[in-house]
Structure 1
Amino acid sequence: MGVTSSTFAAERPGTLADQAYRSIADRLVTLRIRPGEPINDDRIAAELGFGRTPVREALKRLEHERLIVAYPRRGTFATEVQIADLGHISEVRLQLEPLAAGLAAERASDADRAELTRLLTRLAKSSDSDDDLIRLDMTLHRAIYAATRNPYLEDTLIRYDNLATRIWCLFLDRLPGLAGHVHEHGPLLRAIVDRDAEKARALAAGHVEGFETAIRGVI
């Protein structure tokens, strides 16, 4: 099951290549472009309204991030979702997500804290629609990563969150309790806003562990 609306397109504009990257990544992560599906850069450029050059730059970045793969003389395809990768992805996230949560609690600016507080309100009012919840989940993660004030950590975590969310979307029809999983972010956001780094780290670790446990429960 894929999410049907754009998650990344509304983020900071950046270059045309950045915008193309976010639009294509959204389709890949939420499975609007299915695993194994061929990627035609001319068709995507026409659909998104970008030139071929920014689309090709975006595709190079997406290949580096393991969302697409290019084969000589065969073409470019969305990568298959390998469940064997779940452990590897969780291993990295279990180290970096608590780090990010703790740094966000320590470093968040007033503007960051205002945004996280706004997201807490949005979370409380969120619907139970799978599309809305997945989109909100990704927005919450990105707000936390941005609050670390470490662009290298932010970029790394976005990459791994994309891969994890792709696995989540693949099993969405079989996973119970999506709303509960997303609403776990409430106490985490509150801990960051309250500058409680220790609590934020513990909650982030529990969130990653819960994600892996949920996926393994249906495979």
Structure 2
Amino acid sequence: MSVTAAASAIEAAPYASLADQAYHVLRKRLIMLDIPPGAAINEAALAAELGIGRTPVRESLKNLETDHLVVSYPRRGTFATRVDITDLAAISEMRRVLEPLAAQRAAVGATEEQREELRDKARQIRSMSGEDTDNRALMEYDVDVHRLIYRASDNPHLEETLVRLDNLVTRIWCLVLHRMPSVADHIREHVGLLEAIADGDAERASTLAGEHVEHFEASIRAVL
């Protein structure tokens, strides 16, 4: 991202503070591995690129450390955390419980506006051609879908926990992406899930969310 583009993203983002805006820009770079695992984080360079002061960057990094996306060492600096494949089992154990719960809650309590957002995202995915869509775009579809569902669950604590877990599992996915035969098929699984939530079918939404987590873990393990 260029300096101009990054600054524009900061200005356009609907966040409450510069620190919050910087947090979302950096979080995306970290989970998509645009900032490689283990890479040093240069506060001054980031502040200059984003067109903000070092204080909001420093605040955003503290929040990213809570998310286990960066780690700080006294007198050494801040670094992007390593991606530990062995975390997959523990993360999947939690997601198998919480993803179905979020889907069920969303199906029951989503607003009409949220249901239309879910239907619109399902239409976008249904119409896409996997052959013409690069893996980066497909990964961003995946992140968007999960964020929509978590938000529609109307439980900020559940949403916060799932976003953190999804961030970590997305990093694992990005690490092995080049070895996976098909990302598009995994993304297309979201269509039925999104439509079930939008239609208010809580039981089907819960079942599909659980199956989606199982399929994802199996796909990752198949290439390890």
Q: What's the TM-score bracket when you normalise by the shorter of the two chains?
A: over 0.9
| Distance in 2 of aligned mates of 1:109 and 1:165 | 27
Structure 1 residues 12, 183: closer, same or farther in 2, change over 3 A?
farther
* Equivalent in 195, 199, 203 of residue 194 of structure 1: 199
Q: Which residue of 1 aligns with 2:94?
A: 92
| Distance in 2 of aligned mates of 1:150 and 1:183 | 26
2:177 corresponds to 1:175: no
One-letter amino acid of the counterpart of residue 214, structure 1: S
Mean Cα deviation higher: 178-187 or 45-54: 45-54
User: Any conservation in 2 of the 1:126–1:132 contact (CA below 8 Å)?
Assistant: no
1:69 counterpart SS class: strand
* Equivalent in 104, 107, 110 of residue 102 of structure 1: 104
Give the alignment of 1:43-62 within 5 angstroms: 43-62=45-64
* Structure 1 stretches lacking a partner, 5+ long: none
User: Any conservation in 2 of the 1:191–1:199 contact (CA below 8 Å)?
Assistant: yes
Alpha-carbon RMSD = 1.7
| Distance in 1 of aligned mates of 2:135 and 2:86 | 25
| Distance in 1 of aligned mates of 2:161 and 2:168 | 11
Alpha-carbon displacement from aligned partner over 1:127-153 (angstroms, at most 9, x marks no partner): 431111111111111011110111111
One-letter amino acid of the counterpart of residue 212, structure 2: H
| Distance in 2 of aligned mates of 1:49 and 1:155 | 28
2:145 corresponds to 1:140: yes
One-letter amino acid of the counterpart of residue 58, structure 1: S
Q: Which residue of 2 aligns with 1:130?
A: 135
One-letter amino acid of the counterpart of residue 96, structure 1: L
* Equivalent in 41, 44, 61 of residue 43 of structure 2: 41
Mean Cα deviation higher: 138-147 or 46-55: 46-55
Alpha-carbon displacement from aligned partner over 1:43-67 (angstroms, at most 9, x marks no partner): 1111122211111111000001100
| Distance in 1 of aligned mates of 2:215 and 2:156 | 26
One-letter amino acid of the counterpart of residue 51, structure 1: G
| Distance in 1 of aligned mates of 2:118 and 2:14 | 17
One-letter amino acid of the counterpart of residue 22, structure 1: H
Alpha-carbon displacement from aligned partner over 1:112-132 (angstroms, at most 9, x marks no partner): 001111111111223431111
| Distance in 1 of aligned mates of 2:101 and 2:36 | 32
| Distance in 2 of aligned mates of 1:183 and 1:202 | 16
Q: Structure 1 length as normaliser, TM-score? A: 0.93
| Distance in 2 of aligned mates of 1:11 and 1:97 | 27
Mean Cα deviation higher: 102-111 or 8-17: 8-17
2:156 corresponds to 1:154: no
Alpha-carbon displacement from aligned partner over 1:171-191 (angstroms, at most 9, x marks no partner): 110011100001100000010
| Distance in 1 of aligned mates of 2:14 and 2:156 | 14
If each structure's helix is expressed as a fraction of its own residues, which one has the higher value? 2
* Structure 2 stretches lacking a partner, 5+ long: none
Q: Structure 2 length as normaliser, TM-score? A: 0.91
User: Any conservation in 2 of the 1:36–1:80 contact (CA below 8 Å)?
Assistant: yes
User: Any conservation in 2 of the 1:126–1:133 contact (CA below 8 Å)?
Assistant: no
Displacement of 1:12: 3.8
One-letter amino acid of the counterpart of residue 92, structure 1: M
What is the number of residues matched between the two proteins?
A: 214
